[in-house]
């Protein structure tokens, strides 16, 4: 799976940024079907098995759902490769940042 490198900066006030993001995410989550929400939860569980991490967060946005693996370190390369092949066939995208690895599930 091709991964884009993103150069993102941390927010100056992390608490407010986190609060704002959670409110926006909740508002957007109401526009997604239960099937799409279950797909995001399934992705979170699968990624937790292949990455050693500090946390995995689901964020609902207008055009896609993001599943962020915070502090990602690969635990099982073989299984990750198989997962990413499946994700690529489904049209999911991957981005790597300083903060972790982000997978995007399109609204489609």
Around 85, how many Cα atoms within 13 Å sit in the side-chain half-sphere? 6
- What is the mean pLDDT of the segment spanning 40-44? 97
Residue 7 pLDDT greater than 90, yes or no = no
Q: What pLDDT shows up at residue 99?
A: 84
**pTM, two decimal places:** 0.84
Instruction: Outline where DSSP puts E strands in the chain.
Output: 3-5, 51-52, 55-60, 64-70, 73-74, 93-96, 100-106
Q: How is the chain split into domains, by residue range?
A: 33-108
Mean pLDDT of 39-58: 96
Out of 13-22, 78-87, 95-104, pick the least confident.
13-22
Per-residue model confidence as pLDDT tens digits over 30-40: 999 999 999 99
């Amino acid at each position: 799976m091709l991964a884009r490198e993103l150069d993102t900066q941390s927010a100056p006030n992390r608490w407010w940024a986190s609060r704002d993001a959670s409110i926006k995410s909740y508002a957007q989550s109401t526009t997604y079907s239960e099937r799409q929400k279950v797909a995001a939860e399934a992705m979170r569980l699968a990624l937790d098995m292949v990455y050693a991490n500090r946390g995995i967060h689901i964020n609902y946005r207008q055009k896609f759902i993001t599943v962020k693996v915070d502090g990602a370190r690969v635990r099982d390369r073989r299984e990750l490769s198989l997962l990413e092949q499946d994700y690529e066939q489904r049209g999911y995208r991957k981005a790597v940042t300083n903060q972790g690895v982000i997978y995007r599930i399109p609204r489609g």
